[in-house]
Amino acid sequence: MMKLFDQNIMKIRNVLFGLITVALSAASGFLTTTDAQIAVQGETVYTVSGEAIQNGIVLINNGVIEEVGSEDEVDIPSDYERHEAAVVTPGLIDARTVVGLAGYYNQDHDQDQLETSNAVQPELRAIDAFNAREFLVNYLMEEGITTIHTGHAPGAVISGQTMIAKTSGETVEESLVDSTTTIAVTFGPSIDNNYDSPGTRAKAVAVLRQNLIEAREYADKRAAGKDQSRNLKMEALADLLDGKIRALVSAHRAHDIMTALRIQREFDFPMILEGASEAYVVLDEIKEADIPVVIHPLMTRPSGERKNVDMETPAKMKEAGIPFAFQSGYESYVPKTRVARFEAAIAAANELGFESALHALTLGAAEILGIDDRVGSIEEGKDADIVLYDGDPFEYVTHIEGVIINGEIVYDGE
Amino acid sequence: MKLFKSFVLALMMVLIGSLLAFSQSTPQAFTGATIIPISGEPINNGVLIVQDGEIVAVGDADTDIPGNADLHDVSGKVLMPGLVDTHSHVGEGDGGDYSSSLHPDVRIMDTIDPRSKEFRKVVSGGITSVNIMPGSGLLMSGQTVYVKPKPADTIEEMLIVVDEETGVYGGLKMANGTNPLRSNGSPGTRAKSAAMVRELFIDAQEYQQKIEAADGDPSEMPERDLRMETLVEVLEGKRIVHNHTHRHDDILTAIRLAEEFGYRLVLQHVSEAHKVADEIAESGAHASIIAIDSPGGKLEAINMININGRELEDAGVNVAFHTDDPIVDSRFLLRSAALGVRNGMSRKAALESVTIAGARMMDIEDRVGSLEEGKDADFIILSGEPLSVYTHVEQTWIEGEKVYDRSNPEDRDYATGGYEIFRSTNMHIHGERH
């Protein structure tokens, strides 16, 4: 309910905003950068939804992709602003980050990714903490990340909610794509690092099940229209059990992943598995459960519950037919964030290959997050989120030459 | 009796020596690769010949290959010197404790596990020489150790001795800035940090003067003092100081102290090097830097940007990349050099930054860091362009012995990771459970 409401608000906002912009433009007699008409010419244009186009052209009008094709098929109107690059891809998607909540100073005042007063807080909204102007949001944007799924960190039984934003915009309202995407749930030993209780894996699972049982009753009463006092915690969990939002479940060790699948079966909520260092041990079980995976950063340190990470896990998931996406994850120290593009590059070089890595970093991520109607590929009618490069997006020495979000050039490579 | 013992020992040495010579005396010739010797221009279709742990010849396709040589056709590959990592924490060692902030007497050598699986990971990343250091939580956390990460039962077999006479095989780790600051005030501020270091070096100067005054007379020598002995090696230029430092003013303080006492300085991390590159160049200090995927996370390092390589190269500083493993994994040292190029470093300087430049910072440039006749046969065979993400280290050789081969599944696991690969390692990060 909450989510639909927020989304509708956003849609109305966007329409209003568009109308106002058009009105202003018309009034002033010139086009602002925001709704400039742009032609992007790429020696290679990776649409991701279809074959790569050699000498391709992408026309952008009023924030959306107007036309895509080869230079033989698409005429560039004379008043369109032209930009050229060796390689063009859709805007990249970081499918799990804490950027905007965990600031780059790493001081108490800018660390809002984990509230340690209580290990179960599904009512914490990401939109109430997201700082659209945080340094690292812009930093990711300049590395080609145009959409982030961000919010509360792993490390609590339930740490809070997540949201989806573009990496441009000066307020959360301007950046927002989806206000309430998932509820972040953790299985494994990291909870014990942040809370006195629960202090063991089994206790954490018991606490989670108790909360979900209460939420089931709350949801049933709500569905039956019975009177009950509002409870934010229960509202959020009831939305999860009613399938309106999903659980973003962080688990690394194979037995923690299996526990997560067991609880998901018991309560039948929609779920995305996240982290999943040992996913390669239980591929059949993940596939059987029909659950997509946002895989840990490939360059994560092989220590603690991540000691068994394998850079070839994405290739193995592809082989198994499990949908997956990349993430920057959560870093408590240095670097303060990783970059999903760099992580995808390592997967590409470790048996996954270029095309599959790019797919998982764009359209694959959009499909898992349920935003593929708007982003993830270069297709007519989608948001004009485009990245320009001077070479292979995954090569270490490649530079980003331009980033376009919602049809606006937000970074020119300088 | 004593004479007899010596005789037996000498005989054994000869026997072992001849056995060793026998096992390694067959020359190994590597042909067909693009050889990047670092000391010169790349050689297409080059030839590398190694024997008895040393490089015998490096040249083009016309290079004479001894008739008895084992031939290795590495056509289509890239062959370059083994990488040098000037700052690492592999091997599960430790350093000084919090009983004081100054531990020049402490040797990390006494704590490293030569069988640590981390060394297998190190060679899978192409690294063949490593400066393993104690941490940065103290002003002086102890003596560092220069090692070859080759299979060994004892740390002694791994040591790279830089001074045969004194037996020096490492540097001295120092740190300034916020890491060594302690709530008990020892030290509690930057100025106190500098004063504590200066006081100890003044003691060392006096100790050094007493040794000089004794002029070889044992009865006049000062009492042995492990802390002072180490610092005298530093004052005499036999032991290099590796100084962890981030902020531009801390960098200048490190240089100021080095100039006051005349010791040789490698600046480590040097996050704000881009602000004081000319001052670093002027001082003659070397810069061992790190490439991080984003700034932030550590307050005094928030201005770390990956232009340091370019700025230091332009200023004329000898600059190397390091991993600081586990901060950057040992498997990504070549990646760091590539990120240097991405941010404006020349390809030549970037390749030097993970080979000869680092060797200079450890006084081992006469043995490693380039492919030249007479140097140690430490080299790597790459599947392609060294600075490409798609390139893998296929083989790593140390002193003429193959220590890593990606075609061997057990070796390959160390490059990619997997279940219980690092089971014996003891890498602690932020007290994680698992």
Average pLDDT over residues B7-26: 55
Cα distances from A92 to residues A101, A167, A325, A366, A373, in angstroms, run 20, 10, 11, 10, 15
* pLDDT value for B165: 86
Residue B52 touches chain A, beta carbons under 8 Å: no
Phi-psi map region of A5: left, alpha, beta (phi>0 left; psi -120 to 50 alpha): alpha
- Mean pLDDT on B284-303: 96
Q: pLDDT, tens digit, for every residue of B51-109?
A: 999 999 999 999 999 999 999 999 999 999 999 999 999 999 999 999 999 999 999 99
Q: Which residues of A touch B302 (CB under 8 A)?
A: 104-105
Of B294, B388, B421, nearest to A336 by CB-CB distance is B294
Type of residue numbered B299: L
Is A311's CB within 8 Å of B417's CB?
A: yes
Q: Which residue in chain A is spatially nearest to B383 when comparing CA positions?
A: A349
CATH architecture for residues A24-90+379-411: Roll (2.30)
- Evaluate whether the domain defined by B82-369 bears CATH number 3.20.20.140: yes
| Contact residues, B window 267-306, toward A, CB-based 8 Å cutoff | 292-299, 301-302
Report how far residue A372's alpha carbon sits from residue A147's, in angstroms, rounded to the nearest whole number.
Answer: 12
Query: What is the number of CB-based contacts under 8 A between chain A and chain B?
Result: 137
Which of B72, B5, B65 has its CA nearest to residue B32?
A: B72
What are B345-365's pLDDT values in tens digits?
999 999 999 999 999 999 999
For the residues A271-298, what does the mean pLDDT come to?
98
Confidence at residue A5, expressed as pLDDT on a 0 to 100 scale: 45
Q: What is the pLDDT of residues B140-174, one digit of tens each?
A: 999 999 999 999 999 999 999 998 888 999 999 99
Three-state SS at A32: coil
pLDDT score at A287: 98
Contact A339, A327 (CB under 8 A): no
B22 has a chain A CB within 8 A of its CB: no
Residue B41 has pLDDT above 70, yes or no: yes
Please say if the pLDDT value at position B16 is more than 60.
Answer: no
Domain ranges of chain A: 24-90+379-411, 92-369
Residue of A nearest to B424 (CA): A307
The CATH code of the domain at A92-369 is 3.20.20.140
Task: Identify the residue whose tokens are 């049982």.
Answer: A213
Which candidate, A357, A85, A41, A325, places its Cα nearest to that of A181? A325
Residue B48 CA to residue B376 CA, distance in Å, equals 12
Residue of B97, B362, B294 lying closest to A299 (CA atoms) = B294
- Closest Cβ–Cβ partner in B302, B387, B416 for A311: B416
What integer pLDDT is reported at residue A1 of this predicted model? 39
* Buried-exposed string B412-423: b where 16+ CB fall within 10 A, e elsewhere: bbbbbbbeebbe
**Domain A24-90+379-411 shares a fold with domain A92-369:** no
Angstrom distances, CA of residue A11 to CA of A22, A34, A36, A264: 16, 18, 21, 32
Weakest mean pLDDT among A399-413, B3-17, B351-365: B3-17
CA distance A47 to A378: 5
Q: Are B230 and B200 in contact (CB under 8 A)?
A: no
Task: Write out the CATH class of domain B2-76.
Answer: mainly beta
Structure confidence at residue A36 (pLDDT) = 81
From the list B299, B341, B434, which residue is nearest A305 (CB)? B434
Q: Is the CB of B422 less than 8 angstroms away from the CB of A307?
A: yes
Residues from chain B that touch A338, judged by Cβ atoms under 8 A, are 293-294
In this structure, are residues A93 and A362 in contact, taking their beta carbons and an 8 Å threshold? yes
pLDDT in tens, A303-336: 999 999 999 999 999 999 999 999 999 999 999 9
Q: Where are the domains of chain B?
A: 2-76, 82-369
Mutate to test the interface with A, among B293, B331, B382 (most CBs of A within 10 A): B293
At A15, the pLDDT band (50, 70, 90 cuts) reads low
So what's the pLDDT on residue B6?
Answer: 55
CA distance B350 to chain A (A): 12
Q: A-contacting residues of B 376-405, CB under 8 Å? A: 387-392
**For residue A63, pLDDT beyond 70:** yes
Is residue A267 packed enough to be buried (19+ CB in 10 Å), middle (13-18) or exposed (0-12)? middle
